[in-house]
Structure 1
Amino acid sequence: MSTVLSRYSLKLIKKSHYEIWVKGLEKDKRMCLLDKDLYFTGTFEQDRLILGDEQRINTIKKVLVDVLVDQQYKISDVELQNLIILTNISVKRIAHGFYLEDEINSIIGDDFEKEKMIARQFFDILQSKFQLDVRDVEVNYFAVTLNSKGDHDNQSYITKELNDFIFDALVTIKEEFNIDLIDNVDLRISLALHCVPLITRIKYDLQLKNELLFHIKQMSPLAFEIGTYFGYLLQKKYNKRINDDEIAFFAIYFNSGLLNVEKTKEVNSVLVISSVKRSESFLLEQVLRQWFPNDVGKIDFLTMHEFSEVHLDLYNIILTTEKNELYEKGVALYISSFPNKRDYYRLKVYIEGFKSIDDVTEMFKEELFIKGKFTSRHEILEVMSKRAEHEFDIENLYEEVMIREELGSTFFGNYVAIPHPMHAVSNDSFISVALLDKPIEWDEDKNLVRMVLLVCVEKNNAQAFKIWSYVSRMISDRTFLDGVISELSYDNFINVLQKSLRDWFSELR
């Protein structure tokens, strides 16, 4: 519990076996309750408590929706739900005499006039309905929270300062990754529109959660690392750490930018007719792009209701995730929302990457293979880095790896961690492998790791970054890890890797 609380700058104080309390700012306590889904808490009988929360939440929702509609203020459905839950927590805390600290008023200042007006109208109604003593600091803080979650889709919000920062950041990314995204106007606009509310969020410690974090890390590891570097540049500018959840949003934008860079021939425009949720359509889009990076350009999603015959002339591939009228008439090809090998064979497209299995396995040097017992992340990273430094005559690899570790977790799921240097420090590309006798805790979330892949991509070689495509397959395939740890040896690792690659290449024939 102490570890969880520390992430919110809170401390667990124990004065005796019977007296335990949490020390810290009220805003941090509320964020902890929100993030950990602890808003159904209290001292009442459980059934009465849940019923009370349900009634209160319904009232809050109705009032908030009415106020937002009255003020014509746009906000997404997800963020609306988050605001409702946060308000429920606030109402309960206020009712029990727990208020935000007055010092927050001096931090907030006189900005957000539109949001302040909405917040005042909202809390005036709640104050009457729930018999609360609502202070100005509660109104101001809600205004900031609302601003950080609003739908900023107007380019007039993008200041020259922000536009210049993004341009300079893309220049720096080109220097670090040898990938040119500078002239991608769509990418620059997407980054800017996300940064507008993000700047407010990081200023007031209101960063978003991203339920697709590990999906994005596994499916788009290179884009995630570019997003991490972009977050690092933001951190330097605003002196606030950008969490992995926010970085995952950046990764989505950068992944689209990378796909545009990699286009080398005429591509197909794809339309997917689907009623799946945006989170699921994102995963489907990423699978299609991973399978067919050079054959697929634009991918759009429409519902059956939005589709018209005009679209038949705009797209040369039409897919559907439902066996609807278009499917029955032979207009659209059916594909699962979670595509499998069969879907892949039917689409008949090829993937690009390293040209042979040997090209990939050459990245994994026996001299850099490590196995055994380790007790901490720092210990294993120091051993791996020092061995690579000696093998390739590299300086400061360990220091660069630890700089990256400080920015956010390099745990990618399935008991796999992928540490790597913050900046390119080598003239060679390689992957060092460490297989551990027993899992170790890798990060503050206590994620367990059994296999560590230290990835080092050489300077000034954009093609070398394509190794991330194969790393992505490794970390997303649990059977790969199971095969590797069945025998902790270099020969077994290479055999399992070659088998996995043969299966992958055979799928492409």
Structure 2
Amino acid sequence: MLTNRQKKIIEFLLNNLGVFVTSSRLSSYCNVSERTIKSDIKAIKDKLDNNNRFRLISAPSKGYKLDYTHRVVNASENVLNLNELDYSKDFNEPKSRIRILLKMLLSCGIYHSKRKMIDSVFVSESTFYSDLKIIKGILSNYKLDLLYNKSKGYYIVGEEINKRKCLIKENLIPNLNLSSNMFETDLETISIIRKKLLNILSDYKFKISDKLFEDLLIYLSLAEERIKMKNTINNEVFVDGNIDVEMEIARDIFNKCFNFPEELIYNEILYLALKLRGKRDYDDISYISNKIVDFVSNSFSKIKKEFGVDFSENLDLKVVISLHFVPLLHRVKYDMQLENILLPEIKRSFPFAFDMANYFRILVFEEFDVWINEDEVAYLTLYFNFGLENVVLESKGKKVLIISKLKRSETIILRQRILQWFKNQITKIDIIPPRELCKTDIKSYDTIFTTEEVTDSMSGAFVPISLFPTDQDYSRMNIAINGFKSVDSIMELFDSELFFYGDVKDKNEVINKLIKLAKLKYNLPNKFDELIYSRENMSSTYFGSKIAMPHTLYPITQNTFIVVGLLANEIFWDDDHKVKLVLLVSTEINNPKAFQVWASLSHLVSDEALSDKLTNATSFNDITLIIKNRLKNFL
């Protein structure tokens, strides 16, 4: 059986197929002695002796290379079966081929011949050229170019920093790709780095979230691999400001986690220091300049004017956004903005808070001349949603206790789902582990839920719910908290005069038709059209399940209403999504409770079965009947 290191050597040789690699280079790459490499090579050769497709060639002073035993014609022949190791690939899939070619081009700083690249994915020359066009498009997203030299082949030109961004964002990191069928992750090595990194950050009292810690760990593992392959950052880092503390931490990380001479990796240390600056979780208000504090306060005043929601007395929100703002500005400045895999879910679940965060993005641009991407806006959305919850919770409501074994950091989905369902009814939610139940005054709570198994002693007093509450859970919780309420307040927002059915050629046409219907019924401000399109141009208002909900950038009308556009045929709403149903939504100005209509609408969109019914409806009565029947179970 091959060891993880031997598999790692094979992967390196495959990425450099047909090219000799010295034992010294493999030794540096695997961080072991050349004698160990020679032993590993012998073991690999023994495994390949009975393989009639690949062979390992060694040559004095040149090193080792992996090559085909003969010219492979069919993709099915490309199987390197070394016991548990399976190199079979689906070369009929363009995505698989492109990943292989990208990894080959980015793996080391050498030219790759056209024939070698074609042979590696077993396609025709015309298919290869089609794949290259896609690869060039991907590389351009990272400011990288693909050059071609007739005598040498293909070579990627660009900064090493951008090559690493491409490797990470395109999920091309061999040793960290858990879904890869080729190699297992070197968990032992990563575990060692993780422990050392934790100790170093702890020693410096450097606070960082779990997500950002994992991102940092991935980057360090990649940096180690790239440096071993002589792909280092050189004269690409420009620093504006004092980062002495971060430089000290970065230097300590490289010295304790790796074994590279500092003169070789000074720019690596400098770049890591910048990343640390952008990933840090600040909890000391002294880090925040008066300029930022004043900017956040002024932004809250403008949000109050445009959205009718007053955050001026919410000190917690002001502090948390100010603390988040320092590393955010740094990330934007140095092109290190975070990705957010929950972006679609956040947009769909908290649309009003997302619009506030979008408006805040505009204010940031006007003040600091930097543009925050949509992923970062989604993180800000969670803060603004926290503020909105506090606005709602000012009214009298119920106190809820939840008994769960979930860690505090894992309760956000459960807590947010409950608050989304019962925003107007709950003033407090406490979540405790079962072991603390005996120390808790349960009589002080109006309702008690549990995600754990209900025992005989708990039966009746504790309402069971799942960790990820379903519609059935909602029904139980709704009865426990309030009983049922009328749906008339929501249904009054729909009007047969505000309904369009028919064919349109594109998004702009249907939006214009819906705006025209709204203007026939309401006296709308002159800026209404402009604010609809301003919001649309900022980011897509596609909500999922073939439903879009265009709306103004911020509340501007005197009435809250919904204009329904049911399309005879689907149209593209953005580059990736088609829609069949369009709901143009307007919430009234100076009424902070008006935004609660979004909770009902986002709930409708998140129910795929219901969305299918809505998009297959053929009349206004069909639409309203479906919504009314669903709201009876929701409100």
Q: Distance in 2 between matches of 1:487 and 1:182?
A: 44
1:36 aligns with 2:170: yes
Q: Distance in 2 between matches of 1:179 and 1:198?
A: 24
Q: Distance in 1 between matches of 2:319 and 2:484?
A: 29
Q: Distance in 1 between matches of 2:568 and 2:158?
A: 40
| Deviation, structure 1 residue 183 | 0.8
| Deviation, structure 1 residue 391 | 5.8
1:71 aligns with 2:201: no
| Deviation, structure 1 residue 125 | 4.0
Match of 1:451 among 560, 578, 581: 581
Hey, what does 1:320 align to over in structure 2?
Answer: 450
Give the gaps of 5 or more residues in structure 1. none
Q: Distance in 1 between matches of 2:225 and 2:520?
A: 59
Hey, what does 1:431 align to over in structure 2?
Answer: 562
Per-residue CA deviation, residues 92-145 of structure 1 (Å, 9 max, x unaligned), is 33333444452422xx2342211111111222345526x897432221111121
Q: Distance in 1 between matches of 2:345 and 2:503?
A: 29
1:224 aligns with 2:354: yes
1:178-217 maps to which residues of 2 (within 5 A)?
A: 178-217=308-347
Quick check: 379-388 or 427-436, which moved more?
379-388
With over 3 angstroms needed to count, the CA separation of the structure-2 counterparts of 1:345 and 1:437, relative to structure 1, is: closer
Hey, what does 2:421 align to over in structure 1?
Answer: 291
With over 3 angstroms needed to count, the CA separation of the structure-2 counterparts of 1:251 and 1:47, relative to structure 1, is: closer
Identity, in percent, stands at 31
Secondary structure of the residue aligned to 1:118 is helix
Match of 2:550 among 419, 438, 441: 419
| Deviation, structure 1 residue 160 | 2.0
Give the gaps of 5 or more residues in structure 2. 1-133
With over 3 angstroms needed to count, the CA separation of the structure-2 counterparts of 1:114 and 1:493, relative to structure 1, is: same
Q: Please tell me whether the aligned partners of residues 371 and 488 of structure 1 are also in contact (alpha carbons under 8 angstroms).
A: no
Hey, what does 1:88 align to over in structure 2?
Answer: 221
| TM-score normalized with structure 2 length | 0.68
Q: Distance in 2 between matches of 1:70 and 1:356?
A: 56
Q: How many residues align?
A: 495
Hey, what does 1:118 align to over in structure 2?
Answer: 249
Q: Distance in 1 between matches of 2:508 and 2:340?
A: 27
Match of 1:250 among 380, 386, 389: 380
Quick check: 269-278 or 81-90, which moved more?
269-278
Hey, what does 1:349 align to over in structure 2?
Answer: 481
| Deviation, structure 1 residue 280 | 5.0
Per-residue CA deviation, residues 368-393 of structure 1 (Å, 9 max, x unaligned), is 42442535x45544554455456646
Hey, what does 2:541 align to over in structure 1?
Answer: 410
The structure with more radius of gyration: 2
What is the letter of the counterpart of residue 74 of structure 1? K
| Deviation, structure 1 residue 41 | 7.5
Per-residue CA deviation, residues 146-181 of structure 1 (Å, 9 max, x unaligned), is 122223122322332222111111111111111112
Q: Distance in 2 between matches of 1:314 and 1:159?
A: 42
Q: Distance in 2 between matches of 1:413 and 1:274?
A: 31
Per-residue CA deviation, residues 224-266 of structure 1 (Å, 9 max, x unaligned), is 2222222322233232222333223322222232233234643
Q: Distance in 2 between matches of 1:19 and 1:385?
A: 56
Per-residue CA deviation, residues 53-107 of structure 1 (Å, 9 max, x unaligned), is 54543343243234323433232332221111112222333333444452422xx
Q: Distance in 2 between matches of 1:170 and 1:176?
A: 10
1:132-151 maps to which residues of 2 (within 5 A)?
A: 134-151=264-281
Q: Distance in 1 between matches of 2:463 and 2:211?
A: 31
Q: Distance in 2 between matches of 1:326 and 1:240?
A: 59
| TM-score normalized with structure 1 length | 0.83
What is the letter of the counterpart of residue 38 of structure 1? L
The higher-RCO structure (CA 8 Å, 6+ apart) is 1
What is the letter of the counterpart of residue 466 of structure 1? Q
| Deviation, structure 1 residue 463 | 4.0
Hey, what does 1:272 align to over in structure 2?
Answer: 402
What is the letter of the counterpart of residue 111 of structure 1? N
Hey, what does 2:503 align to over in structure 1?
Answer: 372
Secondary structure of the residue aligned to 2:481 is coil
1:155 aligns with 2:290: no
With over 3 angstroms needed to count, the CA separation of the structure-2 counterparts of 1:426 and 1:251, relative to structure 1, is: same
Secondary structure of the residue aligned to 1:207 is coil
Q: Distance in 1 between matches of 2:351 and 2:301?
A: 21
Q: Distance in 1 between matches of 2:135 and 2:436?
A: 51
